[in-house]
Amino acid sequence: MNGIRLLLADDEPHIIQFLELGLLNEGFDIRTAEDGAAALQLAKEFQPHVLILDVMMPEMNGFEVCQAVKDTGANVAVIMLTAKDEIEDRVKGLTLGADDYVVKPFSFEELLARIKARLRNQFPSLLGEATYGPFRVNDIKKELIYQDQTLELSPTEYELLKYIVLNNGIVLSKAQILDSVWGYRFGGEDNIVEVYIRSLRDKLGDKEHRLIRTLRGVGYRMDLS
């Protein structure tokens, strides 16, 4: 999600911390706010592509922020977060210009899917091809090109390689990889990450493990240097 600006506003710090970590791992450029007034000011300065608003916030509620932002004519995808599963709230938010609605509690995967859906609808060019060293990632076509050759990857291999490429230089533990690629409820074999890493190394010709490095007892790191 390189270059995609996202503003997250919620008055519950633990929700902000949880979502911020996950969205940073997805490659978003993120700013956060814990009240509506701060969110509105940041929206003017940061000009996000996606604005995620909790309905119940101090200073200004999410409805008021949504209306104020939309009144400026800004091209921004607004997703409302609420603890209320009431049709009146959904109708009110959509009437004020919100583009989608997510009811708490929700999974990170659900929110991410809704963000991507809004981006495909409003900013399709942002989900195009991005370059990382010798890799080109096209998330629309689900293609990874390495040294000008399109890699033949399974859907899981694609998500795994994309994840470690986007986190170039960062040591990723097996637990982090399982959470991000397979999901928090993964119940398969413990060595699944090693199996897929081995397959990716074969397809990349990385026999000496110079591209995908193993840090024993710690995890893996993509080295594009």
Contact present, 23 and 6 (Cβ < 8 Å): yes
156-187 tens-digit pLDDT: 999 999 999 988 899 999 888 988 888 755 56
Cβ 53 vs Cβ 81: under 8 Å? yes
- What percent of the chain is modeled with pLDDT above 70? 92
Reported as a single tens digit per residue, the pLDDT across 109-162 is 889 988 988 887 788 767 777 788 899 888 778 899 999 999 999 999 999 999
Could you read off the pLDDT of 9-21 as tens digits, one per residue?
999 999 999 999 9
Contact between 82 and 103 under an 8 Å Cβ cutoff? The reply is yes
pLDDT digits (tens, 9 = 90+) for 181-210: 887 555 666 689 999 999 999 999 999 999
Q: Which residues contact residue 101 at a Cβ distance below 8 angstroms, ignoring those fewer than 6 apart?
A: 79, 80, 82, 89, 90, 93, 94
Listed residue (18, 70, 63, 16) closest to 43, CA to CA? 70
pLDDT computed for residue 186 by the predictor: 57
Looking at residue 185, its pLDDT comes to 54
